[in-house]
Chains A and B, each alone.
With several copies, the nearest count.
Chain A
Amino acid sequence: MATKTYLQAISDGLREEMRRDSRVFLIGEDIGVYGGAFKVTQGFLQEFGEDRVIDSPLSETAIVGSCTGAALMGMRPVCEMQFSDFVSCAFDHLVTVAAKQHYRVGTPVPIVVRLPSGGGFSGGPFHSQNPEGFFAHCPGLKLVCPATPADAKGLLVQAIRDPNPVLFFEHKHLYRRIKGEVPDGEHAVEFGKARTHREGTDLSIITYGAMVYTAEEAATAVADKDGTSVEIIDLRTLTPWDKQAVLDSVAKTSKVLVLHEDTHTSGFGAEIAATIAEEAFENLDAPVARLTAPDTPVPFSPPLEKAFLPQVEDVVAAIDRLSAY
């Protein structure tokens, strides 16, 4: 065990898999000489050479499409979108080709797409998005949203070994801010198993990614304020998602807040809330609440972006509303 940043954990997980398995290679914009826009692959070109660390042209379609081809030939490609926002340029290749190939003709497509996501830095409408909501609607893809350094490593390793196309959402706001214990060496975390980030009895917050920490601050605040005991469930993966863990938590607390940074309408929170409402109807003492970003692009200017992103105060207010119900 060592204490590492979230970014370092991703970098280490990737490096270790590349050392372990010569089929793993990387392709993306500026990931080689420059080490990636966020320096996740710093030093990789030197260690693995330019056959395995490929600085691609500015070509998201070719990046994802060629990963699919290489995967069909037995490689284990890991590509990087420079910002997750640009995955819109590879949407067709993910949804049409990679996601459906196995169902259609039985050929697995083991690719990983790394997606630096999320806001909080005045990145504006195109460098701040959380595009998981779009892809959650596509059967055949797996979606991973780690919150902790240990999970960032363990889920990335698992993603690389998974025989399916995996979208790996790395929250940029966690990269250097969040540190934690990370197992050394071999460490893989199973998909579809939520993590109880904090135990509680009065109310459940179902969330993932950076919002885990916003939830945590809010939980601490209400505990201090009036003793409300909040349980936080970190989903870790959205496809598959751990429905059972969510239903178990709701059975315990009877009140639930679904929280994400992605925008509201048809966000993954809708799926969670709809499922809880359908399958835990009799356990609910209050309506399932959702707290998300509003239905707007991510604005650039700090006062707007702050209003856009769910803040600790917003979570506290939502908890208070549910408590009062």
Chain B
Amino acid sequence: MAIAREATPVSSAADIKDADLDREDLLQIYRNMLVTRGIEERGHILYRQGKIPGSFYTGRGNEGGSVGVATAMRADDVGAPIQRDMGVHVTRGTDPWRIFAQYMGRRDGLAAGKDGNVHMADIRLGLIAMVSHLPALMPVAVGCALAFKIRKEPRVAVAWSGDGAMARGDAHEAMNLAGVHRLPVVFICDNNQYAYSTPNRLEFGVDHLADRAAAYGFDGVVVDGTDVLTVYREAHRAIEKARAGGGPTLLELVTLRMEGHAVHDDAFYVPRELLEAYTRKDPIERYRRWLKEQAILDEEADDAITVEVKKLLNDAMKRAEESPLPDPSELETGVYAEPEELDTPHHK
């Protein structure tokens, strides 16, 4: 018995019109998904080459979710994406070379070597850097929404959580506060069916995490997270509803984590059939097929985009490798902020 609505897939041309996307937008989504995957694939290579210290995480299988939601955000909306949401950084315009620099702990990484992997964000792009402790950024995003409400700004905050992290108190307190004040925030749950090795059935005792929304007085929607257009449409609706004062929505985007929790994990615990089923539903392949069916993309255009993305990323890698490692003298800088730092536009 699902309490949440299950989103019907985008299918017809009319659906797309509704969703407010033109041809260029549709191709940009495609490009962003390719860049997203391309960054993470190259990250793998850099990792194997010993150039990425620590561990390495990817969001393969979540390109539809991350790019779909980020595409629905407006420029001055803000978001707090998590470990599978590289597509959000890409879509919001983060320079790929800085992401590679981030991976490698270089000075031009978004965290300047102070933090690693996807613990990063460019606040000027309206993104807030995650911490490891999940889903601590949910209440933080709610606070952004609170600021917008207090200042009566037509802006929306987007908060991400994994399926596993929804078990934590932070998720509850965030959604409860947002529900009480009907804040302009949209909650996205990247349900990739696992939290590390832990399957959904050991994480929660309900059919769909989106059913939780009803416990806070707002709507929940279960969405096929491998279908970027449906994700986009539902995110767009939810974001615009929030902007219009309609309060929060919880979108559960169902996909599968297509790789291990991190590089060291071969994910032996994921049943082969499940993996195969989701391989067939690969968000990029799916979307590419659809673009071709709709005659938005032909072989030639596809090749051109592929080449363009490849060049972008290879150049980015090269540039990142030229970025220096931080100097040990930087160790103790930045523990505290200086008053001048509040003089940036977003702090005024």
**A-to-B contact residues, CB < 8 Å:** 25, 27, 29-30, 33-34, 37, 51-52, 54-62, 64-75, 77, 82-83, 85-86, 88-89, 92-93, 96-97, 100-110, 121-127, 139-140, 142, 161-164, 294-297, 299-304, 306-308
Contact = CB atoms under 8 A, between A and B. Distances in A.
B44 interface: no
Contacts of B105: 122, 300-302, 304
B301 to A, nearest CB: 37
Interface residues of B, number: 80
B347 A69 contact: no
Contacts of A301: 53, 105-106, 109, 113-114, 116, 325-326
B143 A30 contact: no
Nearest to B105: A301
A27 B181 CA distance: 13
Contact of A100 (B123, B131, B149, B157): B131
A146 B130 CA distance: 32
A123 B115 CA distance: 9
Contacts of A51: 149-150
B327 interface: yes
Given A57-B173, A66-B177, A125-B114, 10 more contacts: A29-B196, A56-B202, A59-B169, A59-B176, A65-B143, A69-B140, A72-B346, A96-B132, A105-B110, A125-B131
B110 A65 contact: no
28 contacts: A58-B168, A66-B142, A69-B128, A69-B141, A69-B147, A69-B157, A72-B143, A73-B346, A74-B348, A88-B133, A89-B168, A102-B334, A104-B119, A105-B123, A105-B129, A122-B116, A126-B133, A164-B337, A294-B331, A296-B335, A297-B335, A299-B331, A301-B53, A301-B114, A303-B325, A304-B326, A304-B328, A307-B331
Contact of A33 (B114, B157, B197): B197
A92 B136 contact: yes
Nearest to A61: B173
A108 B325 contact: no
B347 A108 contact: yes
Contact of A34 (B54, B141, B157, B269): B269
A68 B114 contact: no
Interface string B308-344: 0000000000000000011110111011111101100
A74 B114 contact: no
B165 interface: yes
Contacts of A93: 136, 139
B311 to A, nearest CB: 28
A29 B197 CA distance: 9
B273 to A, nearest CB: 17
Given A104-B114, A304-B114, A307-B328, A61 B169 contact: yes
A72 B140 contact: yes
A296 B330 CA distance: 11
A300 B113 contact: yes
A4 B116 CA distance: 33
A62 B139 contact: yes
B294 interface: no
A140 B336 contact: yes
Contacts of A71: 143
Contacts of B45: none
B204 interface: yes
B176 A97 contact: no
Given A61-B169, A73-B144, A92-B136, A105 B115 contact: yes
A300 B54 contact: yes
Contacts of B341: 106, 108, 163
Given A74-B346, A85-B133, A124-B116, A58 B167 contact: yes
A60 B176 CA distance: 12
B146 interface: yes
A122 B262 CA distance: 14
Contacts of B141: 69
Contact of A59 (B111, B167, B342): B167
A126 B132 contact: yes
A69 B133 contact: no
A76 to B, nearest CB: 9
B54 A121 contact: yes
B129 A69 contact: no
A59 B168 contact: yes
A126 B113 contact: no
B147 A70 contact: yes
Contacts of A56: 177, 202
Contacts of A96: 131-133, 136
Nearest to A307: B328
Interface in B153-189: 157, 164-165, 167-170, 173-174, 176-177, 180-181
A114 to B, nearest CB: 17
A57 B328 contact: no
